[in-house]
Amino acid sequence: MRIQNNMWKAVILIGGPDKGTRFRPLSLDVPKPIFPVAGIPMIQHHIEACSKVPEIKEVNLIGFFHYTEMLKSFITMAKQKYSLSIKYLSEYGPLGTAGGLYHFRDQILSGTPEAFFVFNSDVCCNFPLSDILHFHQSKNGDNRITIVATEATHSESMSYGCLVEDENTNEATHYVEKPETFVSSLINCGVYVFTPDVLRCYMAEVFRQHQEESLEMGMGDSNFPDAIKLETEILAGYAGSGKMFVYKTKEIWGQIKSAASAIHANKLYLSVYRRTKPEVLAKKNPDGPIIRGDVFIHESASVDPTAVLGPNVTLGENVEIGAGVRVSNSIVLSGAKLNDHCCVLNTIIGWKCKVGEWSRVEGTAQQPDPNAPYSKIISGQLFNEDGRLIPSITVLGREVDVAPEIIILNSIVLPNKNIHANSKNQIIL
Ligand code: GTP
């Protein structure tokens, strides 16, 4: 019998530079997992949630990014702020969503944790971790998985991993990743709990089979024979074994794949702040600026009292907002300057951009279907079947300078451009 202690860990799968392609050009400047949403890096939301669960003592980030200054300083900041042990475990290449877990099993299992959380980095959620932890503890079996799931609409579900649950026992009886025909409207949220034996036994067996296959077939079609896909190689096989359980959540949930979905996630996280820490949101104040709905303003930002901000706006560090400026449903990244009377709607304004006076930078927001209660936003395609840009939010890459009195509509502007002409539905290279 194994001695169980009450110590838990967490793993965040952060991917690497060849991931996050739908997030370009923003992911050219910063690894997508530390792109700020609602004022803090995407994975800081996960870490903050972990820091509120006393059992979680350590968070491991697994990925194949170079360990750059940016990543280092994020980890240093997060360690100090949350008093957690946080480590970066660097894969030698893309080992898939489960290969890194197996590769770093000794580090993950050191100190004999009772169980560990696994998170996809690109999910937005308010992470009810204590509840999930107690749910996992309430189930039996040394080698069990808890998988967090939420409802989607029938048509949207097919873009996700779909689960069938035995509602009496909460067992997952079936799992199919992105099925071609409808399986279930219950979808995988990319948040899991594993007991250590899943790594020691089941993953070890999957890994062994991989090794045998790659010996038989040479390297096969992958340069990384150690790569394992959690969804298709572990979860699909585990379903129906009586050892995988479904924790259903009705909390907010979304994926952050494209820039448009970052705007949506920004809105979801700001709505969570309103419930859990309203003090961080901008207050309405008769001396202005005018605040509509949820707005987050970094303490170093300067905003003219005649500006109108919101709903769903985040202003980063040292952002400057001029007189009469209007911003809604947008993220304005650090160092950007919005000059007097410009208007920014449904847009991500990149670091140190400048928007000229009376210019209008506008995108089209993608929203969940208002008539479908479980609708999510599908954060996918940039182009339709004809190769045309699907109208979406506007994104200005780093240090873009928009001249005064220009209109930019549903466009993606690559970094360091000077824009002197109007544009609509374009990618400006
Ligand atoms: P797509 O819709 O095709 O993007 O699939 P998905 O939503 O299942 O996402 P994907 O499997 O690509 O990634 C899920 C999570 O795992 C994300 O947080 C990725 O950053 C992370 N991830 C993906 N591949 C790897 C990998 O090779 N290594 C590590 N460490 N993380 C990965």
Low-confidence ranges of the chain (pLDDT < 50): 1-3, 221
Pick the atom of ligand 1 nearest to 12's CA: 18
Q: Is the CB of 56 under 6 A from ligand 1?
A: no
**pLDDT at position 149:** 97
Measuring from atom 22 of ligand 1, which residue has the nearest CA? 15
Measuring from atom 6 of ligand 1, which residue has the nearest CA? 160
Q: Is the CB of 122 under 6 A from ligand 1?
A: yes
DSSP secondary structure code for residue 252 in this structure: -
* Contacts with 91 (C-beta within 8 Å, 6 or more apart), sequence order: 16, 62, 63, 64, 99, 100, 103
Q: Beta partners for 253?
A: 125
Could you tell me the domains of the chain? Answer: 8-255 (3.90.550.10), 283-428 (2.160.10)
Q: Where are the alpha helices (DSSP H) in 61-203?
A: 69-82, 96-103, 105-109, 129-138, 154-157, 196-197
Residue from 42, 66, 97, 192 whose mutation best tests the ligand 1 pocket (most atoms within 8 A of CB): 97
Return the closest-CA partner of residue 404 out of 357, 349, 362: 357
**pLDDT at position 223:** 64
Residue from 14, 18, 19, 61 whose mutation best tests the ligand 1 pocket (most atoms within 8 A of CB): 19
User: Could you tell me the two tokens for 20?
Assistant: 């996050």
Separation of 280 CA from ligand 1 center, angstroms? Answer: 31
Separation of 42 CA from ligand 1 center, angstroms? Answer: 14
Q: Is the CB of 63 under 6 A from ligand 1?
A: yes
Separation of 426 CA from ligand 1 center, angstroms? Answer: 28
The string of pLDDT tens digits covering residues 203-226 is 888 888 888 877 776 655 456 778
Measuring from atom 31 of ligand 1, which residue has the nearest CA? 15
**pLDDT at position 2:** 46
Q: Is the CB of 95 under 6 A from ligand 1?
A: yes
Separation of 224 CA from ligand 1 center, angstroms? Answer: 15
Considering the entire predicted model, what is its pTM?
0.94
**pLDDT at position 212:** 81
* Euclidean distance between CA atoms 102 and 108, whole angstroms: 9
Separation of 19 CA from ligand 1 center, angstroms? Answer: 7
Measuring from atom 24 of ligand 1, which residue has the nearest CA? 96
